[in-house]
């Protein structure tokens, strides 16, 4: 199998880049942590990689809004590079803060005449929320990262994770195309009915969304924080799994280039 190269893009305030690099390497890829300044200096650097991932954290301290400054850098200086990366059939992943960046930069969902079609805003209760959540994959999604996965149990840690679309028309369009890839659910797999199963009040319990091609995914939960079965919060009570639920996401990305 060819070993894809992964660009883990970090910025001041990013704090999950080492874990994300490790996750891709555990899945069989070759990953490099690259500072945003290096990419701004040499945008052609992206062409050396098959997967680009923006990890979680608090890029630029989440000043202005979560992910907004890094998103503006990408929008104003790397837009052509990012869209070429997509056009070349490569994969892009945004985790938590990375999801916020992909949404607000226009990389995940293309802007139209009315601006950004969706955003991630403050949790309904107005606080930072750190807990484990149950997730269900939309069986109609074209998302490469989620193929073969039905349900997951992953941690979330964010203050601005509430996904909302601009209007009902945008919601219907994204829903019909299967782009709402991941939903918060109850432990039995039924639809979440508010907090805490839906930790932020996201519209239609949306925890992750992809582009129309299925090659760009953003999600609020942290798959890189549950790779080893010992990371499960109740492994001593429930026994060990074969592996953490999050590893499959990274393995799907690596195996896409097999």
Is the backbone peptide bond immediately before 196 cis, with ω within 30 degrees of 0? yes
Write the secondary structure of 25-77 as one string of H (helix), E (strand) and C (coil).
HHCCCEEEEEEHHHHHHCHHHHHHCCEEEECCECHHHHCCCCCHHHHHHHHHH
- Selected catalytic residue, list 16, 96, 143, 210: 96
**Does the annotation mark 222 as catalytic?**
yes
CA distance 47 to 37: 16
CA 153 vs CA 21, 187, 247, 250: distances in Å: 21, 9, 12, 15
3-state secondary structure of 157: strand
42-45 contacts, C-beta under 8 A, 24 or more apart: 43/77, 43/78, 43/80, 43/81, 44/81, 45/7
Q: Which of 53, 158, 183, 222 is catalytic?
A: 222
Query: Which member of 19, 129, 160, 224 is catalytic?
Result: 224
pLDDT for 2:
81
pLDDT reported for residue 1: 61
10-residue stretch averages of pLDDT, the chain, 258 residues long: 92 98 98 98 98 98 96 97 97 98 97 93 98 98 98 98 97 98 98 98 98 98 98 97 98 95
**What's the confidence (pLDDT) of residue 258?**
80
Looking at the DSSP bridge assignments, the partners of residue 93 are 53, 217
What six digits make up the tokens of 18? 């080492």
Report the pLDDT value the prediction gives residue 113, as an integer from 0 to 100.
Answer: 87
Q: Which CATH architecture has domain 5-255?
A: 3-Layer(aba) Sandwich (3.40)
The token duo for 132 is 């484990």
Q: Is the pTM of this model over 0.95?
A: yes
Structural domain spans, the chain: 5-255
Q: Is 237 a known active-site residue?
A: no
The H or E element spanning position 205 is none
Q: Which positions ≥6 away from 229 have C-beta within 8 Å?
A: 235, 240, 241, 242, 243, 244
């Amino acid at each position: 199998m060819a070993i894809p190269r992964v660009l883990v893009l970090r910025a001041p305030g990013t704090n999950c880049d080492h874990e994300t690099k490790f996750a891709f390497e555990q899945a069989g890829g070759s990953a490099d942590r690259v500072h945003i300044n290096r990419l701004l200096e040499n945008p052609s650097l992206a062409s050396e990689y098959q997967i680009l991932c923006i990890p979680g954290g608090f890029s630029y301290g989440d000043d202005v809004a979560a992910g907004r400054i890094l998103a503006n850098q990408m929008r104003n200086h790397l837009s052509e590079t990012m869209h070429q990366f997509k056009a070349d059939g490569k994969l892009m992943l945004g985790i938590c803060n990375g999801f916020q960046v992909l949404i607000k930069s226009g990389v995940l969902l293309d802007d139209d005449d009315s601006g950004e079609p969706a955003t991630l805003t403050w949790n309904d209760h107005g606080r930072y929320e750190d807990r484990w959540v149950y997730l269900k994959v939309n069986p109609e999604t074209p998302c490469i990262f989620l193929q073969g996965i039905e349900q997951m149990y992953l941690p979330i840690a964010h203050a601005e994770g509430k996904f909302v679309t601009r209007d009902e028309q945008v919601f219907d369009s994204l829903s019909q195309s299967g782009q709402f890839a991941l939903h918060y659910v109850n432990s039995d797999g039924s639809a979440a009915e508010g907090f805490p199963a839906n930790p932020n009040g996201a519209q239609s319990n949306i925890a992750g969304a992809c582009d129309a091609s299925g090659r760009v995914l953003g999600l609020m939960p942290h798959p890189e924080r549950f790779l080893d079965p010992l990371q499960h919060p109740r492994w001593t009570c429930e026994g060990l799994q074969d592996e953490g639920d999050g590893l499959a996401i990274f393995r799907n990305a690596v195996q896409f280039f097999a």
